């Protein structure tokens, strides 16, 4: 059974049977996080980082220490920087870049374009696919027309989209991205109301997405849904 749990901000936990995947794991500095970092001890298989801003790289390094068998999935240049700087072993890294699927323990992973900034390597979104379910986590991004290609190529069931404005799409722009991506089962807003700088009314997103004929799914921090 596939499940998705939103941990506040961009942090998202996916489970497929006995496998766990966390995306952009900011836990300690996340005022919305429903769990402490110890919750993840020996409890993660794959850690995905869309880019190296602190609110997305988050607690990746500590989580890798707490989960010796876990693998890091990010752009190769970001992985190389982290490996050299923090002595992460090659065995803990899944070499990749924006492109096609990489399969790890029955879970298919891909990185996508994102329009944002970062210090080491380019920012990305991430695709996770297993058990017949495909999830697109857009990372931090502005609106871009190539989202149509992401929708056409990967055909996501669910799309997690930043709506906080200022640093990413706002609710209106995110609703346009839903039209581009065409998620079959739902569009989930993320990266909003963590701090005042990204405070928005999520109901604006809900109304706009519904008017376009798609299904908005608003989660509370800590809420889990079955996919």
pLDDT in tens, 138-176: 999 999 999 999 999 999 999 999 999 999 999 999 999
What is the β-pairing status of strands 124-130 and 107-113? antiparallel
- The domain segmentation of the chain, as residue ranges, is 2-219
pLDDT in tens, 20-49: 999 999 999 999 999 999 999 999 999 999
Helix (H) or strand (E) holding 211: helix 202-211
pLDDT in tens, 70-124: 999 999 999 999 999 999 999 999 999 999 999 999 999 999 999 999 999 999 9
- In CATH, the number for domain 2-219 is 3.60.15.10
- Distance, in Å, from the CA atom of 149 to the CA atom of 123, rounded to the nearest integer, reads 17
Q: Are 124 and 130 in contact (CB under 8 A)?
A: no
pLDDT in the model for residue 39: 97
> What are the φ and ψ backbone dihedral angles of 58, each rounded to 5 degrees?
50, -125
Distances from the Cα of 12 to the Cα of 44, 89, 179, angstroms: 12, 25, 23
Q: How confident is the model at residue 62 (pLDDT cuts 50, 70, 90)?
A: very high
pLDDT in the model for residue 214: 98
What residue ranges in 71-138 does DSSP mark as E strands? Answer: 71-73, 93-94, 102-104, 107-113, 124-130, 133-137
pLDDT in the model for residue 25: 98
The closest of 6, 9, 4, 77 to 222, measured between CA atoms, is 6
pLDDT in the model for residue 35: 97
What's the average model confidence in pLDDT over 191-197? 98
């Amino acid at each position: 059974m596939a499940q998705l749990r939103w941990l506040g901000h961009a942090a998202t936990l996916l489970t497929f049977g006995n496998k766990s995947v966390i995306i952009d794991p900011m836990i300690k500095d996340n005022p919305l996080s429903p769990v402490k970092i110890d919750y993840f001890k020996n409890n993660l298989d794959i850690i995905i980082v869309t880019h190296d801003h602190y609110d997305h790289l988050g607690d990746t390094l500590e989580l890798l220490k707490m989960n010796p068998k876990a693998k890091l999935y990010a752009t190769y240049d970001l992985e190389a920087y982290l490996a050299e700087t923090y002595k992460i072993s090659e065995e803990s890294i899944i070499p990749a870049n924006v492109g096609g699927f990489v399969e790890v323990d029955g879970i298919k992973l891909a990185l996508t374009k994102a329009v944002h900034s970062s210090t080491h390597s380019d920012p990305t979104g991430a695709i996770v696919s297993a058990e017949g379910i495909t999830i697109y986590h857009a990372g931090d991004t502005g609106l871009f027309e190539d989202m149509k290609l992401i929708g056409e190529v990967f055909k996501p069931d669910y799309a997690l989209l930043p709506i906080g404005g200022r640093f990413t799409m706002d609710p209106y722009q995110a609703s346009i991205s839903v039209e581009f991506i065409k998620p079959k089962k739902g569009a989930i807003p993320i990266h909003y109301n963590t701090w005042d700088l990204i405070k928005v009314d999520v109901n604006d997103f809900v109304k706009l997405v519904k008017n376009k004929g798609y299904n908005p799914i608003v989660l509370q921090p800590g809420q889990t849904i079955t996919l």
